[in-house]
Amino acid sequence: MATILDGKAHADRMLELVRLGVEDRKARGLRAPALAVVLVGDDPASHVYVRNKAAACARVGITSIEHRLAADTHQEVLDTLIDQLNADSEVDGILVQLPLPKGLDSKEALHRISPAKDVDGFHPMNQGLLLEGLPGLRPCTPTACMSLLAHHGLQLKGLRAVVLGRSEIVGKPMALMLLEQHATVTIAHSRTQDLPSVCREADLLVAAVGRPGLVEGSWIKPGAVVVDVGINRVEDLALGERIFAAEPRKLEVLKAKGAVLCGDVRFGEAMQVASAVTPVPGGVGPLTIAGLLANTLTAAGAGR
C-alpha cells in the first residue's frame, strides 16, 4: 500500500511558517502584509475559494481586503480597480479570482497586475523569471507541490517525471520547477499519443488535467510517486462505478449525496501500485492557499 501524502498537514506547516514571518514583521514595527482579492460575478465555487482564502489570511495575520464587482462589470472598471490596487502602498498582493464572467478578458486583467504584487505568479514577467530560474513570485499550486515533495524527501535529480497537463497555471510551471531541480521532464497533454505508456515511464507523475479518474492504476509505474492536482465533481453514477471500482467509500458517498469530489487519478488503484499518492480532497487543494499566503508575505517583504 502506498503512503498517503497529507496535503492538509503540510499546508499547516507552510501556514505556520507564514504566521511566524508575519509576527516577525510586526515585531520589527512593520504592518501586516495585505492581500486584495477581486471577485467579479456570482460563481459559487469562486465565492467558496475567496471565503477560504479570507479565513486562511485571518489565521496567519495577513490583512485580506475583498473587492466585489457585479457580473456585468466592464473591463475598464476592472482595469481601473487593478490600477488603484497597484498604486496602493497598503496593498502587497493582488489576486483576481478566476474564472472571470464572460465579456471580461482575464489575460488583460492578469497582465495588468504589477509583477511585484502578482501573488498568483501569472504575470509574464514572473513566468519569464521562472523560465530563467530566477527568483520571483511563482504560481502557488506547483510551488506548493514542490514543497510537499521536498518534505516527503523525494530526490528529484535525475528522476523521470511526467506532468500531465500543460496549463499556464499548473502544468507548464510545474514542469519548469521540476526541470530546475534536475528531473528529466516530459509534458503530456490532450494530444499526446499513447498516454498510458508515457505515464508508465514516470517515477513521479503529476496529473493536472481536470478529467475525473483519467489515470488508471495500470498507467502508474510500480513505486512511483503520484501528485494529483485535479479537483473534479462527479455526479454521473455510471462514471463513478467505473472510476471508483477500487474505492468503495467514494462510490457510497456518490450514491448517498448525488455528487463526490475526486482527482484525475483513480486513487484506490494508485494506492495499490504507487509508493506515495496525494488524495483528493486533502492533497494539493489546501497547499495552494498556503502557497498564496507565502507569496503574499514575500511580496510584502519585497515591497518595503
Catalogue the active-site residues: 53, 97, 120
Helices and strands (H and E) in the chain: how many:
12, 11
What is the closest distance, in whole angstroms, from the C-beta atom of residue 208 to ligand NAD in the complex?
Answer: 4
Interface stretch with ligand NAD, choices 86-94, 155-163, 189-197, 269-277 (CB under 6 A): 189-197
Query: Are 275 and 223 spatial neighbours (Cβ–Cβ below 8 Å)?
Result: yes
272 binds ligand NAD (CB under 6 A): no
- Asked if residue 189 binds ligand NAD (CB under 6 A), the reply is yes
Find the shortest distance in angstroms from Cβ 33 to ligand NAD: 21
Q: Which is nearer to ligand NAD, 81 or 263 (CB)?
A: 263
Q: Interaction with ligand NAD in 212-251: which residues (CB under 6 A)?
A: 214, 229-232
Nearer to ligand NAD by Cβ, of 81 and 176: the residue is: 176
Q: How far is the CB of 157 from ligand NAD (least distance, A)?
A: 26
Q: Is 284 in the site for ligand NAD (CB under 6 A)?
A: yes
Alpha helices in 133-235 (DSSP H): 140-152, 171-180, 195-200
| Count of all residues that appear for the chain in the document | 304
> Please, is 160 exposed, middle or buried when counting C-beta atoms within 10 Å of its C-beta (0-12, 13-18, 19+)?
middle
Q: What is the residue whose three cell numbers read 471500482?
A: 245
Least gap, CB of 135 to ligand NAD (angstroms): 22
* Residue spans of beta strands (DSSP E) within 115-243: 160-164, 184-188, 204-207, 225-228, 232-234
- Within 71-110, which residues bind ligand NAD (CB under 6 A)? none
